Amino acid sequence: MAKCINGGFDNYFSDFPNLELIAEPGSFLVHSPVSLAVNVISGVKIPKSRVTQIEKDSSEEAYMYYLNQGTYGCFNCKILDHFTPIGEPLFPDSKKDGQTYPSIIWGPSCSRFDVIETGKQIRKLENGEWMFYPTMGAYTLVTASTFNGFELPENYHFIDEESL
């Protein structure tokens, strides 16, 4: 990897012979291999205006969902790295997949900073369903805490046969 990076510097920055580079490619390399599956622990129907901040939307429905992980746990990347996680239901549901609603996805704490996604269009979710967040990066678990007694998730390692 260093050979490729140095070659790029020789190509693109040859006019700057004293240029020094400090890089942490580790975060880049493990961004895509780390995914997170989290559980919907609660959901509540709300007026759409709470999501859109448009008063005329108050007669339409929207939802707030609460997950078993939040910004004090495995979604700390929202605060520490200014990363925007984008999740989807882990399992499709042909009976529900057509209709979507504006939603806010929260972590389990009561903190106003524990918001994971806002204004997300998503199908109606039930308690116990799983959400899948791909490309969560290097620090998903190592910087997570057990704030307010919320447990850290179990780790499972997967690799397809083609990659072995």
> Pairing mode, if any, of strands 61-67 and 36-47?
antiparallel
Can you give the length of the chain in residues? 164
110 is catalytic: yes
Report the half-sphere exposure of 72 (CA within 13 A, side-chain side): 18
Spatial contact of 43 and 145, defined as CB atoms under 8 Å apart: no
The residues that bridge with 120 in the sheet, in sequence order, are 103
- Residue from 4, 74, 77, 110 carrying the catalytic annotation: 110
Residue of 102, 151, 147 lying closest to 123 (CA atoms): 102
Q: Is the dihedral of CA 25, 156, 135, 73 positive or negative?
A: negative
**The token pair that represents 11 in the structure block:** 């190509």
Residue of 111, 91, 92, 103 lying closest to 37 (CA atoms): 91
Spatial contact of 105 and 67, defined as CB atoms under 8 Å apart: yes
- Residues labelled as active-site residues: 110
